[in-house]
Structure 1
Amino acid sequence: MTKQDVEVLQHLGRKVAELAATDDNKQKIDKWTRLTDLDKSAGPLQLIHLWPLAWAEALPDEKHLVCQNEAARNYERDLRQRIWSFESLHDDTVIEPVIRYPHFTDIIAYPELPVMAHYASDDHAKTGAFKFESPIQKMADIEKIGDPDINVDWDARNAAKAEAEEIFSGILDVIPTGIYFATKVVDEWAELRGMENVYTDMMDEPEWTHEAMQLIANNFEKRFKTLEELGLWGPWEKSDPLGSTGLRFNPDIPNYQDTMKKGKCDLMDTWAFTCAEGFNCVSPGMHEEFDLPYNVQLMKLFKWVNVGCCEVLHNKVEFVKNVPNARRISVSEWCDFEKAGAEIGTELLYGYKPSGVPFLGDGLHADQVRKELRRVLDAAKDCPLEMIMNIGGTLGGGDGAAKLIEWTKIAKEEIEQTNG
């Protein structure tokens, strides 16, 4: 890195540390901590959680990054995104005074079963959806599920840590980028077997399906415990969004300072995130038969659990309550909000995922946003509530940053009006 790169990063690091020390930030931490402890009076809280494509549209690298070195640009991007979220969105974003160095770890879940993905043969422009060729074609193929392959480049990891400490020492706490992923037994089975086959197999070959699902669950457990033993599981910071839902602050989850003293993050000190989007159209009974047994095994490894992502769960709330350590449930835009609120009550955190459709076009469709938010705020009036705008794809054209700011402004107005 050049001297200029380092100076830019140190300047941004000082800004992050300054924001982390504000009373506003501390109050947000308190609210998230109480809300995830099912204190309804702490919310509703709202958060915008962007994936890489949406970030690239909201804060394009070519307009915002000045560093030249690739590693420096990665740090700069992270710092600028965190600062912009806190200063511009005015949602319930939290900043912790940390900087994360990369983990340099490669995980191959099923080394003997590569899932082949390619463009359709007639898609000459290479612009369409991928076609998947699932590797499990016959019953004997499940014998290849086996254990995951986890490889760490320790030299590169240690070098990155030393570099980060040299740049940010005395400014931010240097921590590793923890490896974290959702438990998707059903969805990984669908990748290996093919979605249509999964549905028919549950009827025609239920015992074989259970055998395969158990092997996948064993593979997940091996991944989790190996990463824990290697000190790679994470994240350490609680300000990182939990999958499809909000932040990880909770009285029972250690802060990153305590994790730093221990030198590793234990599974039982973290949240888990489980979902079965492939079972969206499966009955509650079949969902319970073919997914719950494996969630029961795996979710016992963690302190608290968020259940669901984009699937519809308003008619499966009792199933969710049977998942060990379940604390949050995702209520996606396709749910019956009222039924979900009545079923959830105060036993789970109502994790509402607003529709991203109002972002399509040059400007935000404010009337649609208000209509949907009002309905949810009324439906979940008796529930601990978080509203997480989880943009995984495009912001839909126009000024993406302006639309994000407008959404949080509307959300705050509707919350204030509802709370009187």
Structure 2
Amino acid sequence: MKRAKDLERLRALAAEWMELAGLPVMEERRDGWTALHSLRGKRPMILVEVGYINDYVTQDELLCMDPFCRRTEEYMLKTIRHAKEVGDDIVVEPYFRMGYSMEQPSFGVDVKMVESSEKGLAYVFEHTIKEPEDMKRLVRREFHIDRERTERNRAVLEEAFGDLLPVRLGNYDFMDEADGDYTWTGNCFFGLTWQLHRFIGLGELMYWFYDHPDDLHALLRYMTDDRLRMFRTLEKEKCLVPNTDNQMGGPCFYGYCDDLPKENGQICGLDSMWAWCESQESSSISAGMFGEFVLPYLAELAREFGLIYYGCCEPVCDRLGLIEKAILNLRAVSVSMWNDFDVVGDLIGKKYVYSRKPAPPPMSGKDVNWEAAEKDLLLTKRSARDANLELLFRDLYDIGGERERLAKWVNLAKRTLGL
């Protein structure tokens, strides 16, 4: 009885999903994203990330009882609500994407994450590599695709709505390991210093550049080989499809473009995909040190892929010149609030996608600072000028329970940019 109700609920959401996918505006947006990421943008594109906003969908709204169905229901409800309410350039495709389940084995030095007891996303790590000697405990990880679990989950979705909303299988969600989380499917994330921070701690990592340079190179070599092994396992096991639709080619970044194969469910190789390359943890070191220690390993991974999205929250003004010389397939550059906006626009020009991350503080918390939000948008307009511009609004976790403020911000952005 419970299962029947779960499937009935998912089917009802699938009907809403398909209704949205069939709207003419979806084709217009798809064309807009494709043109932008092919460096012939027709207009700035806007996308708000709602997946991590507190209570964007509350637990009280969820009806499914089975954990997998419940997480799928939450994802579908977020997508539908986003498409109906926000007014940005979200694309709802006429199919439902799910990724393969892949086991993440231990590094041999397990890092414990301690979450805050209060509601939110705050957490700290219990770092396990204290000295270079601890690196001896690291093990070579081998990756395994859990096809049995994958097919079991797909069968549930096919039974619920496969005849109404086709289910497409491909890629893997690196950020969310729980079955039923689909926000990041398609995202080939490097995360080299991201993992080093977890091993060592950011403060201690800074000392390693001076005190243990050879060991730091060895650790980056270990992580690079580990990531290559994971990506190549996905390729060898024929789990990859082009992430050139509304999958994540980068952080909250659609992959639509003309320069890679279109996503049609066909198996592909790494060289047909976007990948996300970043090193936020390197922000505090010099560009020269970044170029010596970190960039060569990022560039090695980047060569495996078709196109690269670079960056997240880190400033790029002092190192973009190094990055573009090392990563020849660079296509999009993240521009966070930490950049020098008088410089970054000239550096990016029309060579790359100017992927602006609006400043979250004015829109966060109990009260909105609309004046500051508009100032941030005007800064973007002045800096980007006629660039291939997109606004990807991320890291917005608390909107004071006011979902309507998202649409108000989108309208403000459109007015400010003259859309």
TM over 0.5: yes
Q: Which residue number in structure 2 is paired with residue 229 of structure 1? A: 236
Listed one character per residue, the Cα deviations across residues 128-150 of structure 1 (whole Å, up to 9, x for unaligned) are: 96553433233343344342243
**Does the alignment pair 1:240 with 2:265?**
no
Higher helix share: 1
Q: Which residue number in structure 2 is paired with residue 79 of structure 1? A: 76
CA distance in 2, matches of 1:15, 1:117: 37
- In structure 1, runs of 5+ residues without a counterpart are none
The answer as to whether partners of 1:187 and 1:277 remain within 8 angstroms in 2 is: yes
Q: Which residue number in structure 2 is paired with residue 103 of structure 1? A: 100
Determine which of 320, 334, 340 is the counterpart of 1:336: 340
Structure 1 315/236 Cα, relative in aligned 2: closer, same or farther at 3 Å?
closer
TM-score (norm 2): 0.88
Aligned-pair distance for 1:21?
Answer: 2.5
TM-score (norm 1): 0.88
Determine which of 337, 354, 357 is the counterpart of 2:358: 354
The residue type equivalent to 1:304 in the other structure is L
Structure 1 67/300 Cα, relative in aligned 2: closer, same or farther at 3 Å?
same
Structure 1 112/247 Cα, relative in aligned 2: closer, same or farther at 3 Å?
same
Listed one character per residue, the Cα deviations across residues 306-362 of structure 1 (whole Å, up to 9, x for unaligned) are: 111111112222123122311111110121122100111111111110111112343
Listed one character per residue, the Cα deviations across residues 256-309 of structure 1 (whole Å, up to 9, x for unaligned) are: 32xx2x3x3422121100111111111111111111110111001111111111
Determine which of 394, 409, 413 is the counterpart of 1:390: 394
The residue type equivalent to 1:8 in the other structure is R
Q: Secondary structure at the match of 2:49?
A: strand
Aligned residues between the structures: 403
Aligned-pair distance for 1:47?
Answer: 0.5
Aligned-pair distance for 1:162?
Answer: 1.8
**Does the alignment pair 1:321 with 2:324?**
yes
The answer as to whether partners of 2:348 and 2:354 remain within 8 angstroms in 1 is: yes
Structure 1 117/241 Cα, relative in aligned 2: closer, same or farther at 3 Å?
closer
**Does the alignment pair 1:271 with 2:274?**
yes
Aligned-pair distance for 1:242?
Answer: 3.5
Q: Which residue number in structure 2 is paired with residue 256 of structure 1? A: 263
The answer as to whether partners of 2:171 and 2:239 remain within 8 angstroms in 1 is: yes
Residues 149-160 of structure 1 correspond to what in structure 2 (within 5 A)? 149-160=142-153
The residue type equivalent to 2:308 in the other structure is V
Q: Secondary structure at the match of 1:132?
A: strand
Q: Which residue number in structure 2 is paired with residue 414 of structure 1? A: 416
Residues 18-417 of structure 1 correspond to what in structure 2 (within 5 A)? 18-40=19-41, 42-52=42-52, 54=53, 56-63=54-61, 65-101=62-98, 103-108=100-105, 110-118=106-114, 130-176=123-169, 178-179=171-172, 180-233=187-240, 236=243, 238-257=245-264, 260=265, 262=266, 264-322=267-325, 323-391=327-395, 394-399=397-402, 401-416=403-418
The residue type equivalent to 1:355 in the other structure is A
Moved more, 236-245 or 403-412: 236-245
CA distance in 2, matches of 1:6, 1:127: 30
Aligned-pair distance for 1:49?
Answer: 1.2
CA distance in 2, matches of 1:124, 1:225: 38
Q: Secondary structure at the match of 2:171?
A: coil
The answer as to whether partners of 1:320 and 1:329 remain within 8 angstroms in 2 is: no
Structure 1 128/414 Cα, relative in aligned 2: closer, same or farther at 3 Å?
closer
CA distance in 2, matches of 1:331, 1:300: 23
Structure 1 127/250 Cα, relative in aligned 2: closer, same or farther at 3 Å?
closer
Q: Secondary structure at the match of 1:82?
A: helix
Q: Secondary structure at the match of 1:78?
A: helix
Aligned-pair distance for 1:157?
Answer: 1.8
Structure 1 125/408 Cα, relative in aligned 2: closer, same or farther at 3 Å?
closer
Structure 1 338/199 Cα, relative in aligned 2: closer, same or farther at 3 Å?
same
The residue type equivalent to 1:155 in the other structure is E
CA distance in 2, matches of 1:386, 1:337: 15
Q: Secondary structure at the match of 2:97?
A: strand
Structure 1 130/46 Cα, relative in aligned 2: closer, same or farther at 3 Å?
closer
The two structures, once aligned, show a CA RMSD in angstroms of 2.6
**Does the alignment pair 1:15 with 2:16?**
yes
- The runs of at least 4 aligned residues of structure 1 exceeding 4 Å deviation read 123-131, 233-237
Q: Secondary structure at the match of 1:256?
A: coil
The answer as to whether partners of 2:243 and 2:249 remain within 8 angstroms in 1 is: no
The answer as to whether partners of 1:102 and 1:160 remain within 8 angstroms in 2 is: no
CA distance in 1, matches of 2:99, 2:253: 23
CA distance in 2, matches of 1:302, 1:125: 40
Aligned-pair distance for 1:116?
Answer: 3.5
CA distance in 1, matches of 2:284, 2:351: 25
Structure 1 136/304 Cα, relative in aligned 2: closer, same or farther at 3 Å?
same
Structure 1 112/70 Cα, relative in aligned 2: closer, same or farther at 3 Å?
closer
